[in-house]
Amino acid sequence: EALIGARITDREAWIAKYTSKAASAVSVPASSSEALIGARITDREAWIAKHTSKGQKKLKVAINGFGRIGRNFVRCLESRGPACPMEIVAINDSGGVKQATHLLKYDSILGTFKADIQVTGEDTFTLNGRTIKVVANRDPLKLPWAELGVDIVIESTGVFIDEAGAGKHLTAGAKRVVITAPGKGEIPTYVIGVNADDMTGLEPIVSNASC
Give CA–CA dist 179/79, Å, rounded: 21
Give the chain's end-to-end CA distance (angstroms, integer). Answer: 26
The catalytic residue among 15, 159, 170, 211 is: 211
The candidate with the shortest Cα–Cα distance to 70, out of 51, 95, 49, 45, is 95
CB atoms within 10 A of CB 107: 14
Verify whether residue 84 is a known catalytic residue: no
Q: Nearest 5°: phi and psi at 176?
A: -140, 155
Cβ-contact 183, 189 below 8 angstroms: yes
Q: Please provide the size of the chain in residues.
A: 211
- Active centre residues (catalytic): 211
